Structure formats: structure tokens, C-alpha cells
A and B are shown apart, each in its own frame.
Chain A
Amino acid sequence: MTRSRFSLRRVSPSDPPIGGRSFDLLCTTMAAVVAVHALHLPWWLTVSLLAILALRWRQRRTHARNVSAWLKIPLVALLLASIVATYGSIFGREPGSAFAVGLLVLKLLESEHRRDARVGVTFACFALMSALLFDQGMFATAFVALALLPALATLRSLEDARPEPARLTGEFSAPLLMLALSIPLALFAFLFVPRLSSPLWGAPMNNQARTGLSSRMSPGDMTELLTDDAPAMRVTFDGGKMPDRPARYFRAYVLWMFDGKEWRAGGGAYRRAPSTLVPGNNVTYEIALEATHEFAMPVLDAPVAPPEKSRMLPDRTVTANNRIDEVVRYRVASTTSYHFEPELDESVRHMALQLPDDVGPKARALAADWRARFGNDDGSIALAALGLFRDGGFSYTLAPPPLGRDRIDDFLFDTHQGYCEHYASAFTFLMRAAGIPARVVTGYQGGYWNTLGNYLLVRQSDAHAWSEIWLAGRGWVRYDPTGAVRPERVSQLGAAAAQPGENSLSGQWLREFRNRMDIVNQWWGRGVIGFDALRQQGLLRPFGIARADVGKLSLILVIGCALLVVVALTWALFRPREGDALDAWMRRLEAKLARAGVARRVSEGPRHYFARAARALPGDRASLEALAGLYIRLRYAFDEPPPEPLREFGGKVREFKPRRVVK
């Protein structure tokens, strides 16, 4: 008797080399990883990584050999050096992922064995996930999920004794089915995995130089913003009551302080209750604001009350209590016809007239000239300033010539070119110089109305700056000097107006398409990306659980997963019984007889079995003999048992009740 030790550990076979097909699939996986990251990798890195991949693929096809370390080590060093040279560091989101993708492709150079391939696929999965840190839009996610196919196909191809599809494309159908079948479990887990209410470690904020509105403005800042097509926010109006396009001004910051170069909020001296407002007709709406990593929450015109978790500043802009690091939604009611702060406080007036001393002597002279000409008529002075912009040879461009030391005078009397920031800044300066309280407001203006989804899409390129001046009896009144220069900027899309040269038909078509496609992104953003801890807690409200905490969620997760596992196990354990209806009836009869103590033996034919049963159960001899005759006829006299006698046999089996033998 041989004795063998009981152990779970297997004697591991030597690591087998990768077959040609597996290597092709591995290369495809790596290429997919590079493709998924291509959007944010430097182009030269993408190109050279793909070239290395292609060369290695060819090299292994011609002669399967490891690449010499003399080539690998310099390549890794080169990769490291070029990434440090590009990004200045190896840490952080962009350089980190670039380095990871580069290493992954270089790992191919030494992937000769199954172990290497598995390690490569594992880290490829991680690299695929890290691509979603850059863009978690629906298309990006779908693309990344598709890139899992070659990864799974590679793993499958590494197994021994498998049928190899004739073509490479044939490898992807089975992983596709596998992924499709795992969607229910994945979705369930997605819904119920308890979210962290606060991150375990710092969220990746570095290098997120995403342009957005800020609490400072110096002419030239917004250029990047106005060419950025990313969505800034989406607005849904209650009852579809949307103000007309020229009235769609979303205020984010009010800038008071000007130092000759830069406008700043300077609200420190302005800590008061929100200014008085005499509201007219109200508009109620909901805004979904993309992450800005700032505090400001843009609202339409003059809000009546601040939304939740925020407070309203005296100038009726709204500041969130927490920094907006993810999509937030808030409901606000605003009024579009109003008297905004009809009585101006003296300290506010002082602040709204503040000007740096040594800036804009020519502008001050012009303002004094207007004041002399129009007397106390502040409105006419403002109109004169707008007239200057309209008729004074000013033009709207996103690429203005640089301004000299005195930005106001240079712009007003020399370059005459600029965009909203320049005009808002110059206009406000002129007003203050003329003694009219004025301030700069930044925010968004316009937006695209998505008819399909009934919401207003506001892009970063809709960012805008304008002025508000205080007129006696009317309060703060909005003046948009940019509109005087380029009325389309206010009445049309910001980006369209900003780029007159590129306003070709195809560009417009593309923009239109993108605007329409935004509804899908909106849906994705609302349903998937915006599914945070708060909404997860409300998930079970329809089932009577007001607030699903971590414990309940975990419980449901465990129970649900168990249920899904049971479903899957049923599938795994299900094996169709063999045979036809006659076999099924016979099995039933055998079960009855087995309970009576006559179990059929493996090697026993029907005739012998029935005879034995009749001997063992003499009380049922007659019915057993009838059953035996019927069964043998049905089984052996026909190719296919005819239905009528089969039904008869079934009835007899159903009626058959073995009488217990009294011993």
C-alpha cells in the first residue's frame, strides 16, 4: 500500500512558456491599455510605446527569445528620465500613470512564461482602472470595460488543454459572454458596496489645473476657460419656465477690489446680511454643478434664498459650506426682475468706488469728461461707455495683444482688442472713475438648451464676466459691455462667438451633435458618477428604510450576493436528466420500489429487476408484472415510445403503491 501525504499544495510544474496565441493576446491587452491612456499621455510616449510593442511582437514571432537585459535596463531608465523631464516628478496622477503604462509595455520584453503573462494581465487591469481617474464618462468607461476582453482572453489562453479558436477574434466571444453574465452581480455590488463618506486619504488634487471660474480675475485669465468645452453645469427649470437667453446670467463671484492688474472678491469688509431685494417673478430650478474644487455655487441672477448646505453673501452670490469636489445638485429659486439693494449702504458705496491711485489717468479723464457732460445722469454715462465700446473701434478676440503697464489705458486707448474680462474690467473702472458704484461679476452666461432632456447645458466656454452698477432708485443693474462689442456673445453660444474663424459648418454640426449627446452623459453622470454615499443611503427609501447605513448596506450586499450565488450555483449544479419521458417514469417507479426496499442494481436489466421486485413484494405481483410487460414493450418494441401507452404506463406508475411486506 502506497502511503501519500495529504496536502493541498500541488507539486508545481515548471513554468511553461507562453504560446504564440497567448502572446498575441497579451500584446493586444497592452495595446488596449496604451490606447485607453492615449488621451492624456504625451503623444511621443504613446507612439514610442506602441512602436516598442510592435517590435517586440515581431521579434518574438521570428525567434522566441528573451530580450537582452542590455536593452531592457536602458529602456526603463529612458522611460523614467523622459517622464521626469516631462512632468518634473514621478509622483502624481499623470506621471504615475504614464510610468505605469510604460513599465507595463516594457514588461512585455521579458514576458516569456505563464507567470509573467499573468502578472502582466493583473497590472494591466489596474492600469485600465487608473485610466478612469482621468475621465469617468460613459464612453470612457465602456471603452475601458471593453479593454478587459483581451485581458480575460489572455488568461483563458494561458490554460492548458483548451480548444483554440482558429482566429484571434474568436478569442473574445467567451470573455464577452463572461462579462455580460457578471453584469447582474457587478451592478448589485456597485449599488450596495458601502461608500466612504470621507476619503481615507487625500483625493488626487495635484495637477488638476482644470480651468474654472475663480475668485480673482485679471484680463487674460479666462482664455483657457473660453475654449474649454467641458460641461460646467446642467440646469433643469421647474415647469420648463426658462428665462430668455439674454437674461440667463449665472452669477458666481462678485469682485470688488481692483489693484490695477487684478480684480478680487475682497468680501472681507462686506460681512453683512444679504442685501435687500424686492423680488418680482420667481424661477425655480435645479443645478447640477460639476466639481470645481472651489466654493462658489453659480445661481441665476438674484436668488431668493440660499440652497441647502450653503450661505448667501451680501451680494447675493452663494458659497457652499464644503468645497465642491464632486458633482453637487441644488435647488434654488431666483427672481429675474427685482430691485437689488435699492438703498446703498455708505460702506458699500465706498467699496464700490475704490480705485487704485496710479492707474488709468486717461480713463479717469474720460470719465470726468462724461460726468461733466451728463451731469447727474448716471444711466447716460453708462450708455456713453457702452457706446464707446460699440463705436470706438473695439473688437472681440480671444487672442488679444498683450497689455502694457497700465492695463486700463492700454486697452481703452491703444489695443482696443479683448474679450469679456477686458470689457468688464474697463467698464467698471470707467464707472467708478465717474463716481458710479460699480462691481465686476463673473459667472456663466447663455448655455445650450437640450430639448431631448429638457435641461440647459452650460459649458466652461460659457464663462463670462460683466458689470453691475448701482443706479439710484433701481439698485444694482447689470451692464454687459461685451454685448455692446459683440452682441452674438450674449445671444449665441459663447464658444461659437469666440472663434469666428472656426465657425465652419462641420464645426457647428459637431458642436450640435455633442450638445445632443450630452443627455447621455447627463444620464450617466446622474445615475452612475453621481451615485454617492448620500444617494446610496436613500436607495432603500422605497422599501421603508429611511437611511441605509453601512451596516444595513453590508447586510444587504451579503444577502444579495448570497442570493445571486445561489442562482449561479443552481446553474452550475444543473444537469439535465438523461433519457425521455419513459425513463423519467421508470426512475419514479424505481424510487418507489427503492423506498419499499428493492433498489435497482447497476447491472440489472428491467426484466430481472421486475422479477426480483415481484418476488420481494408478492402483494404487488400482478401490477408489477403488468408494468414490466408495458415497460419492455414500450422500451424495446419502438424507436420512440408512442404517446398513448406511455400515458398508460405513467398512470400506472402514479397509482402504484408498494404494499409493505409484513415480516
Chain B
Amino acid sequence: MTLASHWRRVVALAEKRLPSLTRMRQREPLPILLNRRRIYIVPTGFGLGFAVLLCVMLVGALNYANNAALILTCLLGAASAGSMLVAFRVLNGLTIGTLRADSAVAGSSIRVSLDISTNDEARTGVHLDVHEQQLALQVPAHGAATAEFELLTEMRGWLPLPRMRIYTTWPLGMFRAWSWLNPDRQVLVYPRPEAFGPPPFEPQGDADRGRPRVGDELASLRDYRPGDPRRQIAWKLSARHHDLLVKDMEQPAPKEDWRLDWDNIHGLDAESRISRLARWIDEGHQGGRRWSLQLPDRYFDIAQGDEHYHRCMTALALQP
């Protein structure tokens, strides 16, 4: 029992002093400022190989009492050691700021962009590992660079950002300075619409359904009939004909407003209802319809457009 409590204290201490190593369990708010507490440096494979070579050169120079070779070895060694500090300086003081995400439905990938900025000198060779994608970017001095990557989504709802690693091997590729990023941000994934299914229930009853209405869109040209309004005459086209032609303006039949209701879908579990509703909303949005959505806990009044669409989809995505 005491052992366990000791262990907890050790972990707590590590969490406090070495946040970068233990960052996997604790999320933190954006913006993240990289500092010396959380930047770690390890030699790369190439760096280890080069170190072995330096040792060989050192022993050779010492053995043959060749001081010129020793100076050269020391110079190379010092330059390599200096490259470690340069690598550290690439990351030190970087700010991982704004996060932006597109919308995506579950099962497809979602584009996320992350701003990495500095308020002093430019940074070179900054890499970001996300979900086995590697991004390399340069951060301009007093500016920001945007890292864009895609996340695979599996289900609707909030998708937490995965743990990312920011690292650099600049300038010589011998050392990798790295830090874990585990921001507490989430991106929203919309529910996946079902592949096919019935259309929503449409109340029948409007008598003049199907009758064309005068609208803005040009349906066809026809001969002039007395009584047609003058502004509908297609003057230019008529000049090539014997008779006057008239633009027949027409609007397709107005689509019925959909009243989508969670409770009107019978015999399905919640997930299937959500994906059916998602499909209807998707179709309605693409078909230019107006719809309202009744969910168990809230109601969206009849409307149309992008904003309405996103509001409804968000509500669906966050359905328990």
C-alpha cells in the first residue's frame, strides 16, 4: 500500500518536473509554449554512427600522436555538440496556437490545421508527427506556419486531437530535439448518413402541387402569345426569327418543407435514427429544402442554409 502511494508521488513529481515525458496522460490547453522543461534531445541513429566515427578518429589521432588530426577531431566534435544546442533552439519558444478543423462525417478523414508561431527568429526544419503523417515546415521570423494534416475519424462526436510530436533534426541531423504535444482540443465529427433509406414523411395536401409557377429560371422559349408581358420577350433571339420569341420563366415546384422528427422514426435504435436523420438533413441541405428537426432534447425550427445545417448536424453528432 505504501509502495503504491510512493509510486503515485513519484509519478506526480515526474508529471510536475518532466511534463514532456509524461504528457501522454495529461492534456493541456492551447496555446502551448515550448520551453526547456519539455524539450528533450536524443541523438539520432546517424548521430550515434557519427559519434562512433569521432571516437575512432580520436583514438587514431591519440595513438599516432597526430595533433593536427586531433584538432580536426575536436573541431568536428565541438561542431556536432553545438548542433545539439541549435536543435534545441529551434523548438525553444515555439508557440503551438490556433487549431482549425473542417467538418467531416465519421469514417472519412478530417482536415485539421495547427498554427505554429514564433515571436523571434525564424525556425528551420520543424517536423510534426501526427498519426504517422510527417509534416515539415519553416516558421518565419515573428510569424506563423500552418501545419495541415488529416485525422481519420471513426465515430461521431468529439474527436480528441491525438498526441503529436514536434521535433527537429536541424542542422546536421545528428540530434533530435522533441516534445510531446497533447492539446486538450477536440474536433467535431458529424454522424455518418446511412447509405440509403426511405425519404422522410411528407404531408400531402397542398392542392396546387405540380403546377409551374413563374420564377426566375429560364425554362424554354416559345412563340409570342398576345398578352405576354413585354419584358419577357427575348429581343435578341427574336431578331433572327420571323416571330417574336418569349422567354418562358418558370420555377420548379417548391419543395415541401420537411419536418424531421426523432420520434417519427419507428423501429430503429438511436444510432440508426441519427444516421437516418443525418441523411435527410444532408439531402435536404443539398436539395435546397427547408427543414425543421425535432430531437428528444431540443428542437430546431424550420429554416435552411449552411448555418442551420451545421447546427443540426452538431446536435446530431452530440446526441448521447
Contacts and interface: CB of A to CB of B under 8 A. Distances in A.
B24 interface: yes
A199 B65 contact: yes
Contact of B93 (A183, A187, A189, A575): A575
B75 A145 contact: yes
A205 to B, nearest CB: 11
Contacts of B138: 161-163
Interface in B134-188: 134, 136-138, 160, 162-163, 165, 167, 169-174, 176
Interface residues of B, number: 65
Scoring A132, A133, A187, A576 by chain B CB atoms within 10 A of each residue's CB, the highest score goes to A132
Contacts of B10: none
Contact of A573 (B36, B42, B68, B163): B36
A357 to B, nearest CB: 48
A204 interface: yes
B76 A2 contact: no
Contacts, number: 172
Contacts of B89: 572
Nearest to A158: B173
A190 B89 CA distance: 27
A310 interface: no
A178 interface: yes
Interface stretch (B125-133, B251-259, B266-274): B125-133
A55 interface: no
Nearest to A178: B79
Given A133-B66, A195-B62, A160 B136 contact: yes
A201 interface: yes
A141 B68 contact: yes
B72 interface: yes
B68 A162 contact: no
A164 to B, nearest CB: 11
A196 B68 CA distance: 15
A2 B164 CA distance: 12
A568 interface: yes
Contact of A199 (B42, B64, B170): B64
Interface residues of A, number: 68
Interface in A144-182: 144-145, 148, 152, 155-156, 158-163, 174, 178-179, 181-182
B275 interface: no
5 contacts: A1-B160, A10-B176, A128-B72, A132-B69, A203-B63
Interface of B: 24, 36, 42, 46, 49-50, 53, 56-79, 81-83, 85-86, 88-89, 92-93, 119-120, 122, 124-127, 129, 132, 134, 136-138, 160, 162-163, 165, 167, 169-174, 176
Interface string A1-15: 110101010110100
B172 A152 contact: yes
B177 to A, nearest CB: 10
Contacts of A531: 67
A569 B65 CA distance: 32
Interface stretch (A71-79, A118-126, A513-521): A118-126
Given A174-B171, A186-B77, 13 more contacts: A132-B66, A133-B66, A141-B71, A144-B68, A155-B173, A155-B174, A159-B169, A161-B138, A162-B170, A193-B70, A532-B65, A573-B36, A573-B92
A84 interface: no
Contacts of B160: 1-2
A163 B124 contact: yes
A600 to B, nearest CB: 16
A241 to B, nearest CB: 32
Contacts of B63: 196, 199-201, 203
A156 B63 CA distance: 31
Contact of A129 (B73, B119, B162, B174): B73
Contacts of A159: 124-125, 169-171, 173
A100 interface: no
Contacts of B67: 136, 190, 528-531
